[in-house]
Structure 1
């Protein structure tokens, strides 16, 4: 469904079962279910609340925390510290590009 969302095509077309790219009732139902599933995913950690809720079949101890370091994120944070506070710094975004 992620590919369908990216390319804005019905699932049946992705699977090669639909000609013309028309959305069937099943395609619409799958897209709605995908949207609902995505809405429940935490932006910060990527888990869903049901995964933690034992009353919904989840497991409070299903995950353990793991520390990792991304040198790209570190570089972005260092550059962000150089952006001045106040009006000059509004709307400034730091990204990574490969030097030419």
Structure 2
């Protein structure tokens, strides 16, 4: 169903049961493989466990950390410090709005 949501198609079309726009077995296999590959990516750092596992061809030191600064994130953090704690601060979300020229 995740694939159906991603591709915005009915399940019957994905499985090839609908009259129009049938997916081939190869198309389905590729879509399922892509979904599995994406699911294995860490949402924190963007790497996959296999990249670190030497038994799976990975390397314990495959990556090194790199520090960077995003001025947009800095502004959001600075503004978030101004949000009151407790009930007044509940539900407050901070985003960036493009300045008009």
**Short-chain TM bin:** 0.7 to 0.9
Aligned to 2:79: 79
Structure 1 distance, partners of 2:51, 2:35, is: 18
Structure 2 unaligned residues grouped into runs of 5+: 10-19
The Cα shift of 1:64 comes to 1.0
Structure 2 distance, partners of 1:70, 1:36, is: 31
Whether the aligned pair in 2 keeps the contact of 1:9 and 1:21 (CA below 8 Å) is: no
Q: CA RMSD in A?
A: 2.0
C-alpha spacing 1:69/1:22, structure 2 compared with 1 (3 Å): same
Aligned to 2:67: 67
The Cα shift of 1:9 comes to 7.2
TM-score by length of 1: 0.75
The Cα shift of 1:22 comes to 3.0
Aligned to 2:89: 89
Greater relative contact order (CA < 8 Å, ≥ 6 in sequence): 1
Count of residue correspondences: 86
Aligned to 2:38: 38
TM-score by length of 2: 0.74
